[in-house]
Amino acid sequence: MTNPADLTLAQLRDALKKKETTSLEATDAYLARIEKAKPLNAFITTTADKARDMAKASDTKLAKGEGGDLEGVPLGIKDLFCTEGVLTTAASHILDGFTPRYESTVTSNLWRDGAVCLGKLNLDEFAMGSSNETSFYGNVINPWRREGDDTALTPGGSSGGSSAAVAARLCAAATATDTGGSIRQPASLTNTVGVKPTYGRVSRWGIVAFASSLDQAGPVAQDVRDAAVMLKSMAGPDPKDSTCINRPVPDYEAVLGQSLKGMKIGVPKEYRLDGMPEEIEKLWAQGIDWMKDAGCEIVDISLPMTKYALPVYYIVAPAEASSNLARYDGVKYGHRAKDYTDILSMYENTRAEGFGDEVKRRILIGTYVLSAGYYDAYYLRAQKVRKKIFDEFTDAFSKVDLILTPSTPSAAFALGEKSDDPVQMYLNDVFTVTGNLAGLPGASVPAGYDKQGLPLGLQLLARPFDEETMFKGMYAIEQAAGATKRPAEWWA
Amino acid sequence: MSIDKDTVRKVAHLARIAEPEERLEPLAKEISGILDWIEQLNEVDVEGVEAMASTVDVTLPMREDVCQDGPTGGGQPDNVVANAPKTEDHFFVVPKVVE
């Protein structure tokens, strides 16, 4: 048979159940690819021995006709999820040598269902970034290149390792997290499917915290079906996370292919930006036509608060980060500075050495906007504007079932191209960040290519906890677009 | 609003990050740039709007007041200090705080 690492997750799952291949064969095939793909720098840690042990255990179960929904399927795990006994870095120097004594709920759920751990995937440091250029472990390189040009491009961020690994078929699927677009933006730049579920759908326990009121975990996958299978396994109530909602998880795979007839699709005029590449405008128009063809009614909507979403995000997220990252002080885990004179200089030097520039910048902004005298002017005002954004979406979703927008304002850009100007970099998340502020589910689906052959995605946003409708829409876009190209394997 | 070098020094101290003198000026410039961009929020009328705390409408779930099993339970001092740079008898060791 063909290389098991060429199958989608769902195909591999089915092939394993039918005993057409074994988990060990699939695991070895992926490990061989990971070895060859070193130039992509997608993995921080590979766990080959652990993977083979887990694969053998899965094969024993599969031989007996037993096993969970993901039995024997090899996955990559964003290195923001704590994994028991496996180095967990958040791509930061400050977590040097940290090997958790516990397992995050999401990864526990995946192992419960039989998945195999191939290793830990690279990301922006503490998930702060949109290009994967802030990792202590170096940049991840996008497997995609412009036609006839070998400039290194970004795979997006912060889940750049996840998106690159899935695009290059180094794992069947990957876990990821999204605080302002960190699942959907990299998925869009790498021709993969990225799903950010409703805030509260997936437990955040054991995931290194960035901005607690915005962070949500989800999958990056090869296609919509794979994303549905992954989300079902990752999601669910968790008594260890009080923000995780206690409601049953639907079978997302079961809704794929259901009719969209009569559904109302909102198209917000404020997402039409000045200077946006014409190709993205065209793709969006194409997406609208696909939805019409599927029997949907297109409804023009207005979300005037959209322009304030990024500024709100860049107050709320750093504020929460400055608080969450206070725990990295060289006392409980990770790096401790060698040179200090007293406890205060131990904290200060440890944090100066351990954090990268982007993380420090955000901690300083967060500390500033929360400080006495500025709290009301910045933080409180931002939380009020956030409420207005939320209300606007609630109102929009009383008229429409889904909202369709582009995923990103451009295709993948070159590494280094935007890293000098933080505000320019932040604008990458302009279409995705509202979903986090309002807690909505959102997804990016591959929908086409620009004139240089680079992938472009379309985004769907849905009502809170209505991922099923979102998956129906995603599947329709996927079927209509047929954007299933794979990158040339220049690294192999 | 622009912030100056002294403000950065003060904020860095509050955040417990040692920033060398030569970084203060560039940081003041970068942070001012971001804050200037954030200033556009002043255009929004937020009169009477309640500040948002959560996107999901739920009350905080309560647990039984009993010691849990597993990683959230007690009685695991070895696990708690396992990753610390310096420990002694299940305590975290830091430089002397009181002379």
pLDDT for B82: 97
Residue A202 pLDDT greater than 70, yes or no: yes
Interface residue of A196, A241, A365, A376 to substitute, partner B, most B CBs within 10 Å: A365
Chain B residue nearest residue A440, CA to CA: B55
Confirm whether pTM is higher than 0.90.
yes
pLDDT of A427 > 90? The answer is no
Given strand A442-449, what is the order of strands in its sheet? Answer: A43-46, A116-121, A74-78, A173-178, A216-221, A193-196, A442-449, A455-462, A402-406, A264-268, A297-301
Query: What CA–CA distance (Å, rounded) separates A255 from A251?
Result: 7
Q: Residue A39 has which token pair?
A: 């130039």
User: What interface predicted TM-score (ipTM) does this complex get?
Assistant: 0.96
Task: Identify the pLDDT of residue B1.
Answer: 58
Residue of A191, A173, A426, A141 whose CA lies nearest to A310: A426
pLDDT at position B42 is: 96
Strands A264-268 and A297-301: parallel
- Over residues A298-355, the pLDDT tens digits come to 999 999 999 999 999 999 999 999 999 999 999 999 999 999 999 999 999 999 999 9
In this predicted model, what pLDDT tens digit does every residue of A125-162 receive, in sequence order? Answer: 999 999 999 999 999 999 999 999 999 999 999 999 99
Average pLDDT, chain A: 97
* A34, two tokens: 């990971």
- Looking at the DSSP bridge assignments, the partners of residue A86 are A83
Q: Could you say which of A78, A120, A196, A418 is catalytic?
A: A78
pLDDT, tens only, A377-412: 999 999 999 999 999 999 999 999 999 999 999 999
Confidence grade of residue B93 (pLDDT, cut at 50, 70, 90):
very high
pLDDT of residue A11: 98
- CA within 13 Å, CB half, B64: 5
H or E segment to which residue A92 belongs: none
> Which residues of B fall within a CB distance of 8 Å from A463?
none
Instruction: At A79, give phi and psi (nearest 5°).
Output: -75, 35
∠ CA(A121), CA(A184), CA(A29), 5° rounding?
Answer: 40
- Does A290 have pLDDT greater than 70? yes
What is the bridge-based pairing of β-strands A442-449 and A455-462? Answer: antiparallel
- What is the SS3 assignment for A314? helix
Residue A346 touches chain B, beta carbons under 8 Å: yes
CB of A271 within 8 A of CB of A305? no
Q: How far apart are CA A262 and CA A271, in angstroms?
A: 24
Instruction: Decide if A158 is catalytic.
Output: yes
Residues 16-55 of B with CB under 8 A from A: 16-19, 27, 30-31, 33-35, 37-38, 40-42, 44, 46, 49-55
Residue B86: the pLDDT is 97
Q: Is the pLDDT of residue A226 over 90?
A: yes
- pLDDT of A13 > 70? The answer is yes
- Alpha-carbon gap, residue A228 to A212, rounded angstroms: 24
pLDDT tens-digit map of B17-70: 999 999 999 999 999 999 999 999 999 999 999 999 888 888 888 888 888 888
Q: What is the pLDDT of residues A16-61, one digit of tens each?
A: 999 999 999 999 999 999 999 999 999 999 999 999 999 999 999 9
Contact A245, A200 (CB under 8 A): yes
pLDDT band at A82 (very low <50, low <70, confident <90, very high): very high
Kindly tell me the burial class for residue B75, based on how many C-beta atoms sit within 10 Å of its own C-beta (0-12, 13-18, 19 or more).
exposed
Q: Give one DSSP letter per residue of A410-425, joined into a string.
A: SS--BTTSSTT-HHHH
Identify the CA nearest to A433 among candidates A475, A405, A469, A466. A405
- A162: nearest Cα among A249, A42, A69, A74: A42
Predicted pLDDT of residue A189: 98
CATH code matching the domain that covers A7-260, chosen among 3.90.1150.10, 3.90.1300.10, 3.20.20.70, 3.30.565.10: 3.90.1300.10
Region of residue A164 (left: phi > 0; alpha: psi -120 to 50; beta: else): alpha
- Report the pLDDT value the prediction gives residue B11, as an integer from 0 to 100: 97
Omega before residue A158 within 30° of 0, cis: yes
- Nearest C-alpha in B relative to A313: B38
Q: Is the pLDDT of residue B85 over 90?
A: yes
How many residues are listed for chain B in this entry? 99
Q: Mutual orientation of helices A309-324 and B21-38 as an angle, nearest 10°? A: 140
Q: Provide the token pair at B50.
A: 């309640």
Closest approach of chain B CAs to the CA of A242, in angstroms? 6
Q: Which two tokens stand for residue A1?
A: 């048979």
pLDDT value, residue A423: 82
Query: How far is Cα A79 from Cα A33, in angstroms, rounded to an integer?
Result: 19
Pair A386, B52: CB distance under 8 Å: yes
How confident is residue B94, by pLDDT bands cut at 50, 70 and 90? very high
Size of interface A-B (CB pairs under 8 A): 163
Mean predicted confidence (pLDDT) in A66-76:
98
Cα(A90)–Cα(B81) distance, rounded to whole angstroms?
Answer: 20
CB contact under 8 A, B27 and A102: no
DSSP H helices in A248-324 = 278-293, 309-324
d(Cα A146, Cα A486) in Å, to the nearest integer?
13
In 3D space, the residue among B97, B85, B15 whose CA is nearest the CA of residue A332 turns out to be B85
Is residue B12 within 8 A of residue A322, CB to CB? The reply is: no
CA-wise closest residue to A53 among A131, A116, A140, A130: A116
pLDDT band at A1 (very low <50, low <70, confident <90, very high): low
Amino acid at A317: A
d(CA B90, CA A345): 24
Helix (H, G, I), strand (E, B) or coil at A60: helix
Is the confidence at residue A429, as pLDDT, over 70?
yes
Spans of all domains in chain A: 7-260
Among positive and negative, which fits the CA dihedral A245, A74, A212, A411?
Answer: negative
Beta bridge partners of A297: A264
pLDDT tens-place string over residues A263-279:
999 999 999 988 889 99
CB contact under 8 A, A332 and B83: yes
Residue A372 is inside which H or E element, if any? none
Percent of all residues in chain A with a pLDDT value above 70, rounded to a whole number: 100
